[in-house]
Every structure is written in structure tokens, then in C-alpha cells.
Amino acid sequence: MADDDVPSDSSTLVIIVDTNPNQRYITEDPKVLTGCLDAVIAFANSHLMQKSRNELAVIGCHFHKSEYLYPSPGKPLDVRQIDGQYELFTLVEKTIKMRLVNLIKSQPQEEKPGESLLAGALAMGLCFISRIRRESSPALKISSRILIVTGSSDTAAQYINYMNVFFTAQKQQVIIDVCSLDKHLSLLQQGCDITGGLYLKVPSLEGLLQYLLWVFLPEGSERRQLVLPGRGRVDYRAACFCHRELLSIGYVCSVCLSVFCKFSPICTTCHTVFKIAGPLQIKPKKKKVKV
């Protein structure tokens, strides 16, 4: 497991929000994205409210790029205090919404929306966590996790990038949680199982905030004492490097371990040439000489 039983002094949470317009729930009703974003902001503020030392980052993932929604890379916004609301909560909400609008406006209009760049957003999250750990005191015990909120379908095109990120997170003891808003995601479920995180497919978007607070708000050390959804059966099929399709049986290169659905005498990844043994030669039977 990524966390010990001892509670941490500080918790770093990176939330990756998939804002790709190709998601089914957005194409059916674009206003649903606003409700999901409000639930994510309330969840982020709940994380900051737990401990004063908690750190937060929110990354917007689109089809053309991923960028930080919070904290803002430049100068923080000048936020006026609202009666009855903590200033930091107001700063988080306004910064995320303002930068999300800029992210959506920056998408190329002539380009057709493709798949979400979730693997790149995960790498950005790991870099943020690494920076927080490097700048913190060595005596400070920090627990780190990444939460992915997405409604995109599963794709094997980023299989290699996913695996690199998953095993990097496992080595850095970073938990990866996934909250699926639409379809079952087998590749991301593998990442949850590898890093010790939780995977949940939300049955109803109306109760998104309730599921976020119930399942994903507790830290890794607290989850062992709570009744949470089980991980279920994990599909560990690998994706072939030629067509990016999940396979049950395939061919593996003995040099670079690339997986292929069909046999090829030359590995397209490392260009290794395999020696193909020809058919076995059958020795002719010796004829008995009659005396």
C-alpha cells in the first residue's frame, strides 16, 4: 500500500477534471458540466478544510492540451471577501472557473475533438507532487494522491504512457483514484489497482458530490477503517503496440517486451530481427538390402 497506518501531517491532492466536449454527458446536456465542476470545487474545498497544511492542485484535461486550473501559474487573483465564506475557498472557485473558460476558448475551432490527454495530465500531477515534497521539510509526513474525474471512454492509444505513469506513481507512493462518470475504464482501473487507489463508476451524476465526499475524501490511512466500494475484478489485458487493442493472447518481443496481436519477423519497436526456424527435415528411411 502507498500509505502507512500512521496519519499524515499534510495531504497533497491533485484533481484531474476531464473537460473534453466529446464526453457523452456533455454532448447530451452541456449544462451538466457546470454541475460537475461545482461538485469538484466543493470537494476540493473540503480537502483544504481538513488540515491547514493540505495542498491542492486542479488540472483541466482537454483534447488539445492539459493545464493547471489551480493554483494559477501567474499572480493570484485579487479576491474580495464575501460575507460568510472563507477567502481561500473563494479564490479556489473563481480561479478554477476563470482558467477553465480560458482553456475551453483556447481549443482550435477547426480541429475535430479527439481523445482526452489523461496520461499527460497524470504526469503533470506527479511533477506537482514531487515539487511539493522537495520544498517541504523532511520531518513533515506527506500523503499524496491523484483523483481523475472523467466521462471519456477507455482507449488503448495511450497504453504505454499510462503504464509509465502508473508504475512511476507506485514507486513514488502516490495513490491514483478514478471517478468514472459514464463508462467502465479498464486501463484506469489497472492504475488504481497498481497504486492502491479506489475506482468508482458513479451511477448518477446528481449525487456526484456525495460520492466524492464519501469515497475519495478520506486519506489512504483512513480508508482501512471505512466501508468503501470494493475494487472488484480488474481486467489486466495488455494492448497491442500495432493496433492499440486489448488482447488476451498475443506475441511478445523477447528484447523490448512489446506486445503484438500478429506475428512479425521484425519487431517494429526495437527493430530486432527474429530467426525463424524452418520445417524439420524428415530423414528418409533406410531400405533394407535383401540378401
Portion of the chain with pLDDT greater than 70, in percent: 92
- pLDDT at residue 186 in the model: 87
Which helix (H) or strand (E) is 58 found in, with range?
strand 55-61
Please list the residue range(s) of the chain that carry CATH number 3.40.50.410.
10-223
Portion of the chain with pLDDT greater than 90, in percent: 46
Helices (H), 106-195: 118-135, 159-171, 186-195
What's the pTM value of the predicted model, to 2 decimals?
A: 0.83
What confidence tens digit (pLDDT) does each residue in 171-198 have?
A: 999 999 999 998 888 889 999 999 999 9
What confidence tens digit (pLDDT) does each residue in 224-278 have?
A: 888 888 777 788 888 788 877 778 888 888 887 788 888 888 888 888 888 776 5
Topology (CATH level 3) of domain 10-223: Rossmann fold (3.40.50)
Q: Using N-to-C axis directions, what is the helix angle for 87-105 and 32-50, rounded to 10°? A: 140
- pLDDT at residue 2 in the model: 45
Split at pLDDT 50, 70, 90, the class of 279 is: low
- pLDDT at residue 69 in the model: 94
